[in-house]
């Protein structure tokens, strides 16, 4: 039985490894693998009641201790929900197997020779309540640890003012996305987005109002993009959005929708009349606009300046050359 469980775990590990090697990003994978871990342990422990001795299923020390390895591994998922759900599943599955085995076999025997010398010990509810408390404690610790890790990652990867990702994280993420796009012959697009007349806005309403405006723009960007996209503050009043598996035309359409959304929302600042903030954007993509990260960033930045020189509050998604056709949105 132990060999069979080990083989199942090995096959599952290989399958997960091959899935990750193909760079298939499935949001359900961390939860699924953690639930598989605790369920495999529960199934192995429960099977001992049928292939060996019911007392082995209820009093096993080696198999039960494996729960703590599985729960500790949930910390590597960096998701508090995974740690909580896996720990809850372990407690529920273990308690359910105890109830079933207790009702199926006579475990609480008298102090006979058979019960005294049973190599797996006697069944006592107090022991198993202690085990459930230990699982609960381990689950709480894992959730606490993951919460701390998440806070540290957010502090190191997020922009302090707006809450979106910072430039350092964007640079690393963009590099990995370019590698993925080249490997799978896919596409990746970016948009450089700049808040129009932000210096004049600060001079008129103050830096505190400017900070509020930047946070609102960042929030609007986060709500407008897809879950697979990434928003980062590139510097000052400039943001960058990375669109995974999007062509240039698709990215331009998405950014134009974002521009209209930001323009349509009035911003109330003190007693002054509501102010409408606008943005300009330049969009570039791989492989249309160059083979390297530097080429894509330079092209997007150049198109952003074209959008600003053309009157602002617009999106540029075509090369700024006399022979090229410029795509403009009023």
- Structure confidence by residue, pLDDT tens digits, 209-241: 899 899 999 999 998 888 889 999 998 999 999
Residues of the chain with pLDDT > 70: what percent? Answer: 91
Last-in-domain residue among 154, 178, 204: 154
What is the domain range of residue 122?
2-154
pLDDT at 179 over 60: yes
176 and 150 housed in the same domain: no
Model confidence at 13, in pLDDT bands (50, 70, 90)? Answer: very high
Q: Which residues contact 91 (CB under 8 A, 6 or more apart)?
A: 132, 135, 136, 139
* Residues 190, 242 contacting (CB under 8 angstroms): yes
* Residues 183, 242 contacting (CB under 8 angstroms): no
Q: Is residue 323 part of a domain?
A: no
* Average pLDDT of the segment spanning 284-306: 93
253 and 307 housed in the same domain: yes
The CATH number covering residue 265 comes to 3.30.70.270
* Residues 299, 284 contacting (CB under 8 angstroms): yes
The length of the chain in residues reads 330
125 and 222 housed in the same domain: no
Residues taking part in catalysis: 237
What does the pLDDT read at residue 320? 47
232 and 132 housed in the same domain: no
* Residues 153, 166 contacting (CB under 8 angstroms): no
Beta-strand relationship, 279-286 and 188-195: antiparallel
Q: How many domains, in total, are found in the chain?
A: 2
């Amino acid at each position: 039985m132990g060999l069979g469980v080990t083989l199942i775990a090995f096959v599952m590990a290989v399958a997960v490894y091959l899935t990750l090697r193909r760079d298939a990003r499935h949001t359900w994978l961390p939860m699924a693998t953690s639930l598989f871990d605790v369920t495999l342990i529960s199934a192995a422990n429960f099977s001992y009641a049928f292939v060996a001795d019911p007392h082995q299923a209820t009093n096993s020390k080696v198999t039960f201790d494996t729960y703590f390895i599985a729960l500790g591994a949930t910390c590597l998922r960096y998701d508090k929900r995974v740690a909580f759900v896996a720990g809850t599943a372990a407690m529920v599955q273990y308690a359910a197997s105890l109830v079933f085995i207790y009702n199926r076999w006579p475990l609480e025997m008298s102090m006979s020779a058979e019960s005294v010398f049973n190599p797996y010990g006697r069944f006592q509810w107090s022991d198993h309540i202690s085990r459930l408390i230990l699982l609960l404690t381990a689950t709480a610790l894992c959730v606490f640890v993951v919460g701390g890790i998440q806070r540290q990652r957010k502090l190191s990867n997020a922009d302090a003012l707006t809450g979106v990702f910072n430039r350092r994280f964007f640079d690393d993420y963009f590099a990995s996305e370019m590698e993925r796009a080249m490997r799978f012959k896919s596409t990746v697009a970016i948009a450089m987005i700049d808040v129009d007349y932000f210096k004049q806005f600060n001079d008129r309403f103050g830096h505190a109002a400017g900070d509020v405006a930047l946070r609102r723009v960042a929030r609007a960007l986060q709500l407008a993009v897809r879950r697979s996209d990434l928003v980062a503050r590139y510097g000052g009043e400039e943001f960058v959005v990375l669109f995974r598996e999007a062509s240039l035309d698709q990215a331009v359409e998405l950014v134009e929708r974002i521009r209209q959304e930001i323009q349509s929302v009035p911003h109330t600042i003190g007693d002054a009349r509501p102010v409408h903030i606008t943005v300009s954007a330049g969009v570039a993509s791989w492989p249309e606009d160059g083979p390297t990260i530097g080429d894509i960033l330079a092209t997007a930045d150049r198109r952003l300046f074209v959008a600003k020189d053309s009157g602002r509050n617009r999106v540029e998604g075509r090369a700024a050359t006399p022979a090229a056709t410029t795509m403009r949105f009023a």
